[in-house]
Structure 1
Amino acid sequence: MPKITAQGKTVECESGSNLRKVLLDNNIDLYNGNAKTINCRGLGTCGTCAVAIQGEVSEPSWKEKTRLGLPPHSSESDRRLACQTKVLGDIRVTKYDGFWGQGSEVVF
């Protein structure tokens, strides 16, 4: 089973699990500020669940690429949308500041 390390915690999940769901189910805070209540609930349209990921995950979909190509995100960044990402192997997740997680300061 793949292991996810985020916010000082390590949790396991089934291969192919949705990263957003696993993080939230394990009380790992994915959203910054008011994004906790104002988000698309996993539809991939708001961009507030953007994180940096090291490890084996699914390839970005067209929907994810499109959203991350729009401000305040940039297609040049290393961010992924947790709601659109499937965990395939052990990963490390880093969340950054900013409403959309687009900042440069590490939150976790």
Structure 2
Amino acid sequence: MPRITAAGKTFECDQGANLRQVLLKNGVALHNGQSKIVNCKGIGTCGTCAVQIEGEVSEPQWRENARRSLPPHSLEKDRRLACQTCVLADVTITKFDGFWGQGDRMVW
């Protein structure tokens, strides 16, 4: 079972599990500020669950690439949408500041 390290916690999930669902299930505050209330609930349209991922995960699909190509996101930044990402092996997750997690300061 893959291990996820995020926000000072480490927990396991099934291989292929949706990253957003696993983080929320394990009490990780995935959204910054008011994006806890105003987000797409995992359909990949808002971009507020953007995180940096180290480790093996699924390849980005068209919906995620489309959202990450629009400001304030950028495909050049090493961010993924947790709601559109499946965990394939051990990963370490980093969240950055900004409503959409697009900032440069690490939150966790």
TM-score, normalised to structure 1, is 0.99
CA distance in 2, matches of 1:53, 1:69: 18
Indicate whether 1:58 and 2:58 are aligned.
yes
Distance 2:90 2:29 in 1: 19
Q: Give the aligned residue type for 1:33.
A: G
- The letter for the 2-side match of 1:37 is I
User: What letter is aligned with 1:91?
Assistant: V
Structure 2 length as normaliser, TM-score? Answer: 0.99
Q: Report the Cα distance in structure 1 between the residues aligned to 2:29 and 2:4, rounded to whole angstroms.
A: 14
For structure 2, the 5+ residue unaligned runs are none
Q: Which residue of 2 aligns with 1:46?
A: 46
Q: How does 1:96-107 map to 2 (within 5 A)?
A: 96-107=96-107
SS in 1 for 2:48: coil
Equivalent residue letter for 1:92: T
Note the 1:1-108 alignment, pairs <5 A: 1-108=1-108
Amino acid at match of 1:43: I
The number of residue pairs the alignment matches comes to: 108
The Cα offsets for residues 4-38 of structure 1, whole Å up to 9 and x where unpaired, read as 00000001000000000000000000000000000
Structure 1 stretches of 4+ with a deviation exceeding 2 A read none
Identical columns (%): 65
